[in-house]
Structures are given as C-alpha cells and as structure tokens.
Amino acid sequence: MFVKGDSIAETAEMGCCGCFGFSFAKKPKKVLRSRGIFVNNTSREFLLDEEGEEEEGEEEEGDDEFYNGDVTDTGNEDDDQFQSPVRRSEEILKYRLQNSLICREVPVKETHKLVRSEDEDGNKMINEYVREYKIGSGSYGKVVLYRSSTDGKYYAIKAFHKSHLLKLRVAPSETAMTDVLREVLIMKTLNHPNIVNLVEVIDDPTTDHFYMVLEYVEGKWVCEGAGPPGGLGENISRKYLRDIVSGLMYLHAHNVIHGDIKPDNLLVTASGTVKIGDFSVSQVFEDDNDELRRSPGTPVFTAPECCLGLTYHGKAADTWAVGVTLYCMVLGRYPFLGDTLQDTYDKIVNNPLNLPDGMNLLLKDLIEGLLCKDPGHRMTLEAVSEHAWVIGEEGPIPLYLCRCKRNRSKEASNGSRMGLLS
C-alpha cells in the first residue's frame, strides 16, 4: 500500500515498464489493451523504472536484462496508416550528420574491432577499457564503469547483445535495435554542457556485442539521498531545474524529444551540474511538428494526453515530466501514484494536483503551470526559464548558442554582406 509520505528512495526500489495508454478526459474508466502487459493485473512494482534482477547463468559482461518495455496498443487499429516520426528519425539524423548540421566539433569515435581480454590483475577488458564494476542498467542493457588504459579516465559503457535487441519488438516495424541505433545517431549530433556526451561506439560485425562509451558523470541522480520529508529543498531544486530546462530547451530547439525525463536519467556531476542522459526512447523531427503516438516513457512521469487517441505532442509531454521531476525534487514523492498501472493512469488523468499548505506561492504557481493536465495550457519551457521562482537570485537561464546555430548565423550574415556587395 502506498503511503503519501513515502520518499523517492523508498518507492524507487521497483521494476520497469514501458509503453501504455489511457483516456485523457474525465470519462468512465476504460480497460486498457496492451501488447505484453496485462494492465489491470500489473503490480505496483512496474510503475517506476529501476534496475531489475539479473538472469541466472548469463554472461556478466554485457548481459542484458529482460525487456519490460512492450508497446501498448493505443486503441487505433490502423497503425500502418499512421506515418510514425520514428521511421523518419534515422533519415533526418543521417542528413544532419552528412551535411555537418550538428553541434559537435569532435565527432564520435567509431570502432569496428573488438578485443576482449584481461589485464595483468585479471580484470576484464574491452579494447583499451578495463572493467571496474556495474553501475546501473539502461532500457536494454547494462551500464558498467570502465577505466581507459590509454588516458586513465573513467567512462560509463552501455553494453548490449545485438541478437537480443533484434528479438525485442517495440513497435509493428521496429525492434529494440532500432531504438539503440537511433540513440547513437541522436547523441552523435549533440553537444551541450547539460547533456551526457557520447565518446565512442564499438560495433564489431563479427561479434554479438555492441558498446556505447559515454562520459562518466561522477556524482548521483538528482533525487538520490533526498529522504522524507521535503526532498532536496528549494535552492538545490532550483539549481537542478535550471540545468534541466537549459538542456531540454536545447534538445527541443533541435527538434529532439527526450521521451523519458525523470530523476534517474538526470545525473549530477561532482561540481553539481545536471546532465541529461539515456536517449534510448528519444525521437527526432524535421520541423516543429512533434506529434507522436508511441509513448515509451516511465508511467509515473507520463503526461495525461499520452492516451488512447491518435497522437500527442512530444515537447509538451517532456515538459510535464519536468513538472513531475520538480515535484519529486521539492517534496520527495510522486504527485500521482496508484497501486496498479490502471490506478496510476486514472490519477494522472483525473485527480487534482495536491500541494502542501504554506508552499512558496511562486513555486506553487510554477508546479501548477507545469502539471497542467491540458497540454494546450501547460507552461512552456521558455515560460519556465523566465519564471520568477526559476530566476531567483541567479537571473534568467543563459541562452546556449550551439555550433550549428552559430554556423547558420555566420552563413546568414555572409549572405547579407554578399547581397550588399552585389
């Protein structure tokens, strides 16, 4: 039984769940139909996304977890008639990479030769990287800490089995491998101080292993150790929120929808900077049309409109998740959490937002704006960045002028000068 006073630390010791659906309106309760998940009988352990149990007998190195992210039927049978933005993402990303329309100045290293060995102390190695210990799990595979024998730095490496990913169906025409390859393509284009950096991809066609070498964030996730009651407090929550909003505004400006904003995917460096990680369910758009149908995020962070209808807007759904995250950081608990998936969805859609008496009125206004159930009236990230509580004593969130925007500005400026000279 869930008690409202439960802390994030207490409630986060649960399994993971992927896609789902519900009706966005105060209508009679509806039985949800899902592929792979029987919603009405799903226990509360699937409401939150956290590391699960390891399979017995599997190889420790690169061992994948069971995948609990089966796609839920959103209620429309004409899947093939809906042109999913996911199918276009790879083409958009490849075009950006081929035409240098990216923010990275140093490209991601691509390695097609894998050597698995041991160092003199018997520690497992992949190429130059010496294994230290497992530090977590992503959506489809393990995350392990490695140390480079070349530069001595630590890296977080996501390890996958390609054969396993290819067996996992996440949509009618997509496998988990589609998600991982799209994640790589997305991260190849990004460069921002509040985004985890992808350093190298190791993909040897002669082996079943696939590795993503990421910068290691030597810190914690944003709500770790918050404890009940009261969460992190206003000052730390404000500092973290500013970083989250800065990073997410950058993503949205590049038509990237994260899709799974939550404390577990928000890492804090030793110096206190928040970096957004895990782009395994992220998607990309060519323009501002951010309509999505597949909703593969984490249930308690999901917006009401991610429902049984045709589409929802990815940016607004990301913004809702920021609101849930802020609520968690400030209060140390979730705003809407039931004993089952169905119960949780009903509460997200129908229950009013409860905030404690005596809360800072500016903070209350911000949380209410972010957790507005109507996406058309929900506060935008731009409005959040200018909100009085967010500004505080620090001033407005600084605008980040990325490399691709600078290049476009230079091209426009050069074009204007050429026009004047002609």
Instruction: Check the annotation: does 153 bind a ligand.
Output: no
157: which residues sit within 8 A by CB, 6+ positions away? 126, 129, 143, 144, 145, 146, 211, 212, 213, 214
Q: List pLDDT tens digits, range 214-231.
A: 999 987 777 765 444 558
CA distance 299 to 47: 6
Higher pLDDT, 39 or 184: 184
Out of 94-108, 122-136, 289-303, 407-421, pick the least confident. Answer: 407-421
Is residue 186 packed enough to be buried (19+ CB in 10 Å), middle (13-18) or exposed (0-12)?
A: buried
In angstroms, what CA-CA distances link 159 with 143, 180, 207, 368, 396?
6, 11, 13, 39, 39
Q: List pLDDT tens digits, range 287-344.
A: 777 888 776 678 899 899 985 556 889 999 999 999 999 999 999 999 999 898 888 8
- Stretch 404-419: mean pLDDT: 55
Q: List pLDDT tens digits, range 356-365.
A: 999 999 999 9
Residues 265 and 299 sit within 8 Å (Cβ to Cβ) = no
What pLDDT shows up at residue 403?
Answer: 73
Q: Please name the helix (run of DSSP H) or strand (run of DSSP E) that holds residue 283, with its range, or none.
A: strand 283-284
User: Taking 50 as the threshold, does the pLDDT of residue 174 lie above it?
Assistant: yes
CA distance 24 to 346: 9
Is residue 354 packed enough to be buried (19+ CB in 10 Å), middle (13-18) or exposed (0-12)?
A: exposed
Q: List pLDDT tens digits, range 71-93.
A: 333 333 344 444 455 557 778 88
Output the CA angle 170-46-285, nearest 5 degrees: 40
User: Taking 90 as the threshold, does the pLDDT of residue 242 lie above it?
Assistant: yes
What pLDDT shows up at residue 48?
Answer: 62
CA distance 367 to 416: 44
User: Taking 60 as the threshold, does the pLDDT of residue 282 lie above it?
Assistant: yes
Residues 250 and 233 sit within 8 Å (Cβ to Cβ) = no
The catalytic residue positions are 260
User: Taking 50 as the threshold, does the pLDDT of residue 20 lie above it?
Assistant: no
Ordered alpha helix ranges (H), 138-233: 162-167, 176-189
Share of the chain above pLDDT 90, in %: 50
User: Taking 60 as the threshold, does the pLDDT of residue 19 lie above it?
Assistant: no
> What is the architecture, at CATH level 2, of domain 8-391?
Orthogonal Bundle (1.10)
User: Taking 50 as the threshold, does the pLDDT of residue 127 lie above it?
Assistant: yes
What pLDDT shows up at residue 8?
Answer: 40
Domain spans in the chain, listed from the N-terminal domain onward:
8-391
